[in-house]
Amino acid sequence: MKCFFIETKKEDWLLSFYSKYLEKIKREIKFDILYIKPVSAPRAKLDFKLEKESDKMLAKIEPKDFVILLDEKGKDLSTLSLSKKLRELLDRGNNLVFIVGGAFGVSQKLKNRANLKISLSALTLNHHVAQTVLLEQIYRCTTIWSGKPYHNE
């Protein structure tokens, strides 16, 4: 299982969070984060920026990967539903790849490649916030699978 994140300037709180949650998740499952270098372009060239960043991610996605795109228009899932869905996908031998786009999202080509689109919230989230929520939810799912007393329903 891995996540693709657009690499932007990371603040101390974010680095601390990544470190803590990567350690927790890796205790439970094989997991990694791949950082994609952002493309510098003015807002007038937004389509170019999205296309180039998305192409960088698409180049790292294997044909057999099951791609889960985080998108505010994606499917709403409860934590338990997400946990069940991910467990089913993993049990079928899928290699899960989560994608959180940058500040402006991802290209339509990358949206089309996604096998599943899920929403973390109906709200628009800053991509750093989306990344932290995703990592926490992945960790939460692993504790549900292992029966650890972390998730309260």
pLDDT confidence of residue 67: 98
pTM for the structure as a whole = 0.92
pLDDT confidence of residue 55: 96
Q: Residue 148's pLDDT band (boundaries 50, 70, 90)?
A: confident
Q: Residue 10's pLDDT band (boundaries 50, 70, 90)?
A: confident
Q: Taking all residues of the chain, what is their mean pLDDT, rounded to a whole number?
A: 92
**53 vs 73: CA distance, rounded Å:** 20
3-state secondary structure the chain: CEEEEECCCCCHHHHHHHHHHHHHHHHHCCCEEEEECCCCCCHHHHHHHHHHHHHHHHHHCCCCEEEEEEEEEEEECCHHHHHHHHHHHHHCCCEEEEEECECCECCHHHHHHCCEEEECCCCCCCHHHHHHHHHHHHHHHHHHHHCCCCCCC
Q: Which domains does the chain have, with CATH numbers?
A: 2-146 (3.40.1280.10)
**125 vs 103: CA distance, rounded Å:** 9
